[in-house]
Structure 1
């Protein structure tokens, strides 16, 4: 279907462009949302007669969006969620959560303006795009963590998920409390692998022989 765009549409064109799209996309989205008109002769005449007014109104909305964008751009919202040890959330963070988080920061954003693609399903810092106008987009940060302390670390650039992975892979013997009776520099026996203890003892004997000689 050929249509006349009434505003900029990503990957299609800008206001006044005549483009061809799939019928379903036009009927189900562009036309009912008044983002475009059918490109017939009658509508072309109507558009041309109103082009100046439409372009002026679009410019005014763009300016308002740019002003709002300066305030919301870079905003960080903290979302506390439960997760598995691998960092996978029990559930997900969706558009409603982003809108609610921004509202707590004093930003009124419509859910249609939040562009996520897919819900967030892991801990960490995530970029979320906010389309304030067809020609004005800003990015905010969704800090998804298990606690306020972890959120603060992530905000400082710490990769909490990487730390979780490292902790899960540290041998248990390295995390056990040191034997209080061990001599300074002595390695606990339970941390020695097969062959290491014998090699150490042999080295000690060699040292004694050298001393005697």
Structure 2
């Protein structure tokens, strides 16, 4: 289906371009969202009559998005999730979760504005792109942690997902230690183990 774009769409083109898209994409997304019109003589004439107004609206929306982007860029938000000892999440952090966390932080973001290349499925710090306008995108940091304390430690650069293998030292009982009624001495047992 041929459509006239009413705004810039990253992978399709600029405002006013006549592009060919799949019928389902046009009927289910572009037309209901008022991002495009069917390309016919009447709609081309209507678009040309409204072009100046549409460009002015687009410019105004872009300025608003840039103002919000300046405040939002570089912000860090914490998402608390359950995870295993290795840092693997029980589930994932979705665009809806990210938009909810950012909205709780004082910015109004719709889930369709969150651009994720792949789902977030592990603890840690993750860069996420927020598309405020087709021409304005900013990066935010999503700190995925099990607790608030863990999130603070991650923000300082500590890796909370590493399971430290502690060497198990063999301990021997020292019956000559009178103070405690006998004691375990790990140093002697490790020296004996080396010999």
Query: 1:149 maps to what in 2?
Result: 149
Q: The residue matched to 1:55 in structure 2 has which SS?
A: helix
Structure 1 residue 125 displacement after superposition: 0.8
Structure 1 residue 68 displacement after superposition: 0.8
Deviation track 1:157-183 (CA, whole Å, cap 9, x = no partner) reads 33333xx14x1xx2542699xx86466
Q: The residue matched to 1:188 in structure 2 has which SS?
A: helix
Q: The residue matched to 2:98 in structure 1 has which SS?
A: helix
Deviation track 1:87-108 (CA, whole Å, cap 9, x = no partner) reads 1112322233222211222112
Residues 137 and 182 (structure 1 numbering): CA distance in 2 closer, same or farther, change over 3 Å?
closer
Structure 1 residue 53 displacement after superposition: 1.0
152-161 or 84-93: bigger deviation: 152-161
Once residues 34 and 10 of structure 1 are traced to their aligned partners in structure 2, the CA distance between those partners, rounded to angstroms, is 16
Deviation track 1:180-205 (CA, whole Å, cap 9, x = no partner) reads 6466xx67158x4xxx52xxxxxxxx
Normalized against structure 1, the TM-score is what?
Answer: 0.77
Instruction: Report 1:50-129 matches (<5 A).
Output: 50-129=50-129
Counting helix residues as a fraction of each chain, which structure ranks higher? 1
Task: Say yes or no: does 1:173 pair with 2:168.
Answer: yes
Decide whether the 8 Å contact of 2:170 with 2:190 is kept in 1.
no
Unaligned 5+ segments in structure 2 are 172-182
Whichever of the two has the greater Rg, that structure is 1
Structure 1 residue 15 displacement after superposition: 0.6
Aligned length: 184
